[in-house]
C-alpha cells in the first residue's frame, strides 16, 4: 500500500508542486494526488521535476466536476464540455505518468434534485453513453477511470457501491472501477465493510480516499479503521490510500461539498497525524 494526500487539503488550485511535494515527503507520503481544477495553472513539467526531486509518485488524479463539466446534463453543450474535460484529464495523466482518474465523473458535484422516473432514466442513459466515450478514450491511452459514489447531499446519481456497480456494468468498459471514500460511505452505506467487499469482489477498487467522518484527519473519528483495513486486505487491495480533505479556498466544489470551516488545527496536521495512523493499519 502506498500512502499520500490529495492536493485539495493544502492548495486550490494546485500551482506549487515543488513546495507541496516536499511537504508531503516530510510527513512520510509516498504519493500525491492532484486535483485537476484549472489546466491553465497546472504545470506538467514542474510536477515531473518535483517528482524527480522527492521520489513522490502521482499515480492518480481527481477531477473537479463543477456545473460546466456534467456529462449527464440536460444541456448538450455542457455534456460536450464534460466529456472534453475528461479527455483533457487523460492527456494530462499521460504527461505526469498517472494511471487513474478518480471522482464523480458521471455528474456535477452538488447536483441533487427530486426527479421523475423519466428524468432518472434520461440521466442514466446520458451518463452511460458519455462515460463509455470517456472510458474508451482513456483505455486507449493506458488510463483507468475510478467512479466515486457520493453522499445524497452532493449528488442524486450514484450514492452507493451497488449503484456504482450498475453504472460500471452498463458502461461495460474493462478500465472502469471504483474510488471508495470513507466519508461518503459513512453516510450512504449501511455496512461500510460489506460495501468494500462488494466493490472488490464484483468489480475492482482503483483508489481509496480516507478521511474522518467530518472530512478531517483519519483516526480522529468514529470509524472502525481496523475493520476497514481488514476488508481492503481481504479483497486484495493494496494500491493507494489517500487522505482527502479540503481547504475552503477550493472554489470549484467548496460550496457543493459544504466546506465551510477548517477540519484540523492546520492543513499540515492532517498529514502529520493521519499518515502515520494509516500506515499503522497495514503494518
Does an H or E element contain 242, and which? strand 240-243
Most confident of 74-78, 107-111, 214-218, 260-264: 74-78
Q: What is the pTM of this model?
A: 0.94
Question: What does each C-alpha distance from 124 to 109, 167, 187 come to in angstroms?
Answer: 16, 8, 22
CATH of domain 2-281: 3.20.20.150
Residue 265 has a pLDDT of 75
Mean pLDDT of 222-250: 91
Mean pLDDT of 101-113: 95
Region of 45 (left: φ > 0; alpha: ψ -120 to 50; beta: rest) is alpha
275 Cβ contact list (under 8 Å, min separation 6): 3, 4, 5, 27, 28, 29, 243
Q: How far apart are CA 103 and CA 69, in angstroms?
A: 12
pLDDT for residue 215 is more than 90? no
Mean pLDDT of 13-25: 97
Q: How far apart are CA 60 and CA 105, in angstroms?
A: 14
- Positions annotated as catalytic residues are 148, 244
Radius of gyration for the alpha carbons in the chain, expressed in angstroms and rounded: 17
Mean pLDDT of 71-75: 98
Mean pLDDT of 132-148: 98
Q: Given CA atoms 6, 260, 107, 225 in this order, what sign does their dihedral have?
A: positive
Amino acid at each position: 500500500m502506498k500512502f499520500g494526500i490529495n492536493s485539495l487539503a493544502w492548495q486550490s488550485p494546485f500551482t506549487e508542486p515543488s513546495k507541496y511535494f516536499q511537504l508531503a515527503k516530510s510527513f512520510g507520503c509516498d504519493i500525491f494526488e492532484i486535483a485537476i481544477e484549472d489546466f491553465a495553472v497546472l504545470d506538467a513539467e514542474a510536477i515531473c521535476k518535483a517528482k524527480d526531486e522527492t521520489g513522490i509518485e502521482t499515480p492518480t488524479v481527481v477531477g473537479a466536476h463543477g456545473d460546466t463539466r456534467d456529462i449527464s446534463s440536460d444541456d448538450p453543450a455542457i455534456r460536450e464540455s464534460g466529456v472534453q474535460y475528461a479527455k483533457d484529464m487523460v492527456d494530462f495523466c499521460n504527461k505526469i505518468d498517472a494511471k487513474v482518474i478518480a471522482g464523480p465523473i458521471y455528474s456535477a458535484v452538488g447536483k441533487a434534485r427530486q426527479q421523475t422516473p423519466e428524468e432518472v432514466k434520461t440521466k442514466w442513459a446520458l451518463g452511460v453513453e458519455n462515460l463509455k466515450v470517456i472510458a474508451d478514450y482513456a483505455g486507449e491511452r493506458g488510463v483507468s477511470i475510478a467512479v466515486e459514489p457520493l453522499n445524497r447531499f452532493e449528488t442524486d446519481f450514484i450514492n452507493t457501491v451497488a449503484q456504482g456497480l450498475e453504472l460500471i456494468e452498463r458502461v461495460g468498459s474493462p478500465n472502469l472501477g471504483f474510488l471508495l471514500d470513507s466519508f461518503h460511505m459513512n453516510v450512504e452505506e449501511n455496512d461500510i465493510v460489506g460495501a468494500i467487499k462488494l466493490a472488490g469482489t464484483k468489480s475492482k477498487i482503483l483508489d481509496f480516499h480516507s478521511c474522518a467522518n467530518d472530512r478531517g484527519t483519519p483516526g480522529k473519528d468514529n470509524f472502525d479503521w481496523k475493520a476497514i483495513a481488514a476488508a481492503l486486505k481481504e479483497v486484495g487491495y493494496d494500491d493507494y490510500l489517500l487522505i482527502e480533505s479540503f481547504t475552503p479556498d477550493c472554489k470549484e466544489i467548496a460550496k457543493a461539498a459544504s466546506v465551510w470551516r477548517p477540519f484540523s488545527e492546520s492543513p499540515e496536521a492532517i498529514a502529520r497525524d493521519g499518515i502515520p495512523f494509516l500506515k499503522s493499519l497495514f503494518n
